[in-house]
Structure 1
Amino acid sequence: MRILCLHGAGTNSRIFEAQTAAIRYELGDNHTYDFVDGGVPWDMHPGVKNIALEDEPVYAFIDPADLNTGVTAYRNLMDYLEEEGPYDGVIAFSQAATMILTYLAHVARQNALGHDTPTPFKFAIFISIVHCPVDYEAFQRGQIIEICPKDAKGVVGIPTVHIWGALDDDPESAARAAELRIGLGIFLSAAEITIMSTSLVTITDELMHYEQGSWLITAYLLTFTGFLTLWAKCTDVFGLKASLLSSLLIFVAFSGGCGAVRTMNQLIICRAFQGIGGSGVFSLSLFSIIHITPPGKFDAASAAGSAVVAIGMVLGAILGGAICSAGAWRWIFLYNVPAGAVAWVLIFSAMPYNLAHKENIDRSAGIWDYLTRKTTLFLTSTDPVGCFLLLGFSVLFVTALEEANVTYAWSSALVIGFLAVSGALGITFVVWEWYIGSRRKGLVEPMFPWTMVQDRVWMGVLLCPSGFFVSGPATTILYIQIPQRLQITNDSSAISAGLRLLAFAAGSPIGSFVCSLLAGKFRLPFVYTITIGAILQTAGSFLLSSVPTTLHVWGGQYGYMVLTGIGVGMSMTSFYIAVPVVVRKEDQPIAVGLSLQTRMLGASLGIAIVNSILINYVKAHLGPLEAAANPNMLLGLPPDNVQQIREVYGAGYNLQMKAVGAFSLAQFVAVALMWRKDQARLIK
């Protein structure tokens, strides 16, 4: 019998021949085995280094980031079978197994349609196949449409054997298990964004610094924003697993620090470092789910991720209110320590070391040389100059907005200086990214690849000033400002405000589900789902700006919250699904990081803008005594003054909702940028 033998990615025919020696010995000497090399040079798989020769070249059959290599591989396969065949059977490992199974399904489909296409093998043996076969015809057109093995049972008309090693996991169950573990990390970092919204009253009262209260939210958001792309770059150097575990460790450590502080300044500093860890946990967890999810299931995974984020943000507000109502505000941070430790252990045990990472540095050279090379690679691939410029712009711009008309006047030299320097840093950032991305290729890897700027659809998802940049402020502001309005204007308790926020939070997963259904099952283009979400979000935001400023909570605002939540859920899920679809696979880590970075940068700026709007409105409509009063501590003031302060703050919050509506309207710019003749959509 003649048997074709095809190796996996990151190895070669000689290594595969050695790996199958025991099997071939048991089968006897009356068979002929042809071992064939792939055509794409590749990095060596860590599992074969102990049997590989020094500097031995290794290959893959297909580069997943370049579908043209796949088209070439199938053409070469057919040419080889025609010239060297016929073969009785095939033994294929990993990537090659997926390729052969895809081709066999194609042949079976052709014969079912009445074409006389010969089946190239009488049997097939597949070893450690970890990816589903894909639709061959769609693949030739540059699309990846996976075939569910359960739905295609019995299609291939020859005997097949599927072999996994004792340490191999079932791919689907392993992916589901990993997603559950990673979801805990997403929940913790998302909850930390809003947990302060119902806790500010208690914390600022105890630490005696109400005027600095907004910094407890802004400090977290700023560092969260500034390090998102940096963490994404870390995956290229240190690997996804190591980067995720490191960020989770930082997040847990400084959560404990937040719970142990004694002054407001200490808490703000710990919140900033907590944001550094939280940014890695959030972005790398989302990228992990994208990486382990088959392309045909991006809609379901994105909807699930959006739902976890929404649940985390609303439960963060409720949890913060409940803990503060019990008189133990430090536990809004300390609970992250045991929960984060559990998440760390689960991720460590579930995630493979080489997920989304190809080790290209030889560890045998010595630990010092290994670390030196890693550090050099990190500095040349993370664009530290770009990171510094973007972080400096964000910090100075948001600081100016936060401090203007609070500690310093708008006309003060400090505020004007911060705005001027931040503007210069922003312009320098754009020029620097253009310079290293288009003029000095190879000098350093830009944190914002300039090729992405030329992709109009991607830019519609990201910026200009749309997509994530405008949906981020609307989402985050609503989660934070609605509970504060309920506490100050309606005199609700912290826990009551968090529970009332459920009306808004309930709409978000509904919107995510509707978006997943429209984009996934009905293949509705992204521009349409984004448009529907933007309309609902805009309408709901402007309706919330008309809520009465009475002490009693008007019942109609719950309906407005649900409507706005559905729009937010649809918009955000649409953007999340679109990211891995509209960019190349090798750009997915940086695309996820940039998407989240623009979202949170928009959120940081948005929070600062609406806070400035509220403060300016309050100072313009209250006397000096009333404007200086802490709105959370009104018991000692005359009833008429208390009512006036609550009403003015209510009107100020309504004005904030109009700003949210303006942000929501800007999403239509994203629609215009994404619009094209052949609309981008999810192909299943």
Structure 2
Amino acid sequence: MSQKDQDQKQDATSITDEAVQTPQAAEQAILGATSKEHEDKQHYLQGFRLYLIMVSLCLCLFLTNLEIPIVTTSLIGITDDLGDFNKASWIISSYLLGYVGVLIIFSKLSDVFGRKSILILVVLIFIIFSGACGAAQTIEQLIVFRAFQGIGGAGNYSLSAVILVELVPSNKYAKYTTFVSLFYSLSLLLGPIFGGVITQNTTWRWIFLLNVPAGAVALGIIVFAMPNGFPFHGIPKEQRPNSIRELSSKWLLARFDLFGAALLLTATLLLVAALEEADVHYPWKSDFVITLLTISGLSWIGFLLWERHMTRNAKVCEPVFPWRFVESRILLGMILSAIFLGGPWFCSIFQLPQRFQIVNSLSPLQAGIRLVPFTLAAPIGSIVSAALAKAAKIPPLYWVIFASVLQVIGFTLLSTVSNSHDIPAAQYGYQFIAGFGCGINISLLLVMIPFRVQDRDKGKYMTLVVSAKRTFRVMGGVIGLAIVTSAFNGLIRSRLGALISSSELDALLKSPELLSSFPADIQETIRSTFGDGYTLQIKILAGLAAGQIPSAMLMWEKEHIMI
């Protein structure tokens, strides 16, 4: 190993030593490296004021992360009220698409207009559109409001993660990232249960409306406790780092790849729309679906060509997806692994509670409780794998491959569960295996980034690299969700089309509660068919998990990364 590689390894190890215990902790430790160059110019907050800001940021992260799992156990209740169960996946997808579009943008905006002002803006967006979601009168309104709520959530996540590591010097990251990681884990564990409790005992609207007072508390703390000019408060403007002092709106437009971000969002949105609507409102061969797929394909090609051009020719602009990621086999493997991981991770949280409610006739609360093995296994996998990889000197790549195989095994076993009303105890073990594998890769793929990012992408570019990885994982989740939804709808329509009329089938897909209106024998056939549809979805998730294996093999080296 050359001296340069040894130095690079030492620098990266110093980052991961901080507190790599969960995906949230890993990301904060990595982002912490971006602020070290300015530590000597920062006046760190202390005492009660510091704790207040920590609480507000943790609350922002908790609410943002909670918005995915809390909705999953409420989808049946939402669609029973508003109708159109076959659009239920859009309630999740629209929120995640907000992440794909703006996750990187807000961190750049905060460089120009200040952390505090942009954080206030995104918290306001999140609060306003959470209230709008709770007041929605149609499923279409809810989907649109969720998209804007996702924009606010993406800003909350991005800025909170950056600000948290600017609050304290690097030698205190371990203490505070461990604290934040607890909130991350709790959001996963409590989300499905909260959603079940609220939907079962009151209206589903409270799963959104509760964000308003909670978000208002966080907003009030930010307004009054966070100093203006953070993280360089108390320092004369002329003494602040040049990279901060000289920023302007004109700099932002010249620096950030807005066109690339728009192409990425367009390509993803149109692909998801085509997959979601195919075999629901439009046949696969319809002009609508073909047009969306064609424009999406052209947008993907245009995105890649544009990013290649921006990387090689632009002198100032930072591309959304630097072409160096494609030229580096290691980084490309990490990104592909993240894309293939997104589907199993997000789709499981979406799909399993629905199966429990429709196939096993459980209440929303019961469904949420039975999802705990999956959501509990993920943070456990993150903690165990990072600790063992370091203590036992096992290359993290081995763990990534092992975790991918675990996911394939877990989802394959889940696909063998029968469609009976009774839930076999082994099913909880299968969930744990799959969730454990997901948790390992969510964490370790983040931990490995600083070891193989080029010097030019370190420091202030590390935020871009980490955000890009999360963006592509979310994008993989959105696309994966569209794929399994399309497969589910196609199977249901082909199986039940000869059993009930098309109008009855359309009504059933819009409101599954109508299942009880059919004769007992037909009810069982319909319930079994829905079970087969969910089984098909799980098989697809096993296939997506398998895609992580060749992606991980792209990262194979003669001398493996060690942490």
> TM-score normalized by structure 2?
0.84
User: For 1:421-450, what per-residue CA distance to the aligned partner results, in whole angstroms no more than 9, with x for missing partners?
Assistant: 0110111011111111102333x3322223
Look up the match of 1:598.
472
CA distance in 2, matches of 1:147, 1:550: 46
Whichever residue aligns with residue 188 of structure 1, its letter is L
CA distance in 2, matches of 1:300, 1:357: 22
Look up the match of 2:281.
407
Whichever residue aligns with residue 435 of structure 1, its letter is H
Look up the match of 1:272.
147
Look up the match of 1:497.
367
Whichever residue aligns with residue 278 of structure 1, its letter is G
TM-superposed CA distance for 1:292, in Å, is 5.9
Which structure 2 residue ranges, 5 or more long, are not aligned? 19-39, 239-243
Matched ranges for 1:91-170 at <5 A: 145=14, 169=45
1:558 aligns with 2:416: no
1:544 aligns with 2:414: yes
1:380 equivalent among 231, 254, 264: 254
1:621 equivalent among 495, 507, 518: 495
1:480 aligns with 2:350: yes
TM-superposed CA distance for 1:664, in Å, is 1.1
1:423 equivalent among 290, 297, 309: 297
CA distance in 2, matches of 1:636, 1:146: 59
Look up the match of 1:53.
none
CA distance in 1, matches of 2:17, 2:174: 16
Q: Secondary structure at the match of 1:195?
A: helix
1:671 equivalent among 536, 552, 560: 552
Q: Secondary structure at the match of 1:537?
A: helix
Question: Which structure carries more strand by proportion?
Answer: 1
Whichever residue aligns with residue 534 of structure 2, its letter is Y
Whichever residue aligns with residue 645 of structure 1, its letter is I
Look up the match of 1:243.
118
CA distance in 2, matches of 1:608, 1:147: 35
Look up the match of 1:452.
325
User: For 1:638-679, what per-residue CA distance to the aligned partner results, in whole angstroms no more than 9, with x for missing partners?
Assistant: 011111111111111111111111111111233212222332
TM-superposed CA distance for 1:313, in Å, is 3.3
1:209 aligns with 2:84: yes
Look up the match of 2:104.
229
Question: Which structure carries more helix by proportion?
Answer: 2
Mapped contact 1:473–1:663 kept (Cα < 8 A) = yes
Look up the match of 2:538.
657
Which structure 1 residue ranges, 5 or more long, are not aligned? 1-66, 69-136, 150-163, 364-369
CA distance in 2, matches of 1:265, 1:188: 23
User: For 1:434-477, what per-residue CA distance to the aligned partner results, in whole angstroms no more than 9, with x for missing partners?
Assistant: 111102333x3322223333333222222xxx221111111111
Mapped contact 1:526–1:681 kept (Cα < 8 A) = yes
2:526 equivalent among 645, 649, 659: 645
Q: Secondary structure at the match of 2:448?
A: helix
Q: Secondary structure at the match of 2:554?
A: helix
Q: Quickly say closer, same or farther: Cα 1:178–1:536, change in 2 above 3 A.
A: farther
Larger relative contact order (Cα-Cα within 8 Å, sequence gap ≥ 6): 2
Percent identity for Structure 1 against Structure 2: 35
2:341 equivalent among 471, 475, 481: 471
1:575 equivalent among 445, 456, 460: 445
TM-superposed CA distance for 1:398, in Å, is 0.5
CA distance in 1, matches of 2:514, 2:245: 54
Whichever residue aligns with residue 334 of structure 1, its letter is L
Look up the match of 1:326.
201
CA distance in 2, matches of 1:292, 1:528: 35
> TM-score normalized by structure 1?
0.70
TM-superposed CA distance for 1:144, in Å, is 6.4
Deviates more, 1:488-497 or 1:235-244: 235-244
Whichever residue aligns with residue 466 of structure 2, its letter is V
Matched ranges for 1:68-79 at <5 A: none
Deviates more, 1:209-218 or 1:343-352: 343-352
Look up the match of 1:461.
334
Q: Secondary structure at the match of 1:437?
A: helix
Whichever residue aligns with residue 113 of structure 2, its letter is F
TM-superposed CA distance for 1:169, in Å, is 4.4
Mapped contact 1:145–1:295 kept (Cα < 8 A) = no
CA distance in 2, matches of 1:536, 1:253: 41
Q: Secondary structure at the match of 2:513?
A: coil
TM-superposed CA distance for 1:287, in Å, is 3.7
Q: Quickly say closer, same or farther: Cα 1:242–1:533, change in 2 above 3 A.
A: farther
Whichever residue aligns with residue 230 of structure 1, its letter is I
Q: Quickly say closer, same or farther: Cα 1:359–1:232, change in 2 above 3 A.
A: farther
Deviates more, 1:466-475 or 1:337-346: 337-346
CA distance in 1, matches of 2:195, 2:411: 24
Whichever residue aligns with residue 208 of structure 2, its letter is F
Q: Quickly say closer, same or farther: Cα 1:575–1:147, change in 2 above 3 A.
A: closer
Whichever residue aligns with residue 526 of structure 2, its letter is I
User: For 1:607-645, what per-residue CA distance to the aligned partner results, in whole angstroms no more than 9, with x for missing partners?
Assistant: 100001111111122234364324332111101111111
Mapped contact 1:258–1:333 kept (Cα < 8 A) = yes
Mapped contact 1:613–1:655 kept (Cα < 8 A) = yes
CA distance in 2, matches of 1:199, 1:147: 37
Q: Quickly say closer, same or farther: Cα 1:354–1:551, change in 2 above 3 A.
A: same
Look up the match of 2:268.
394
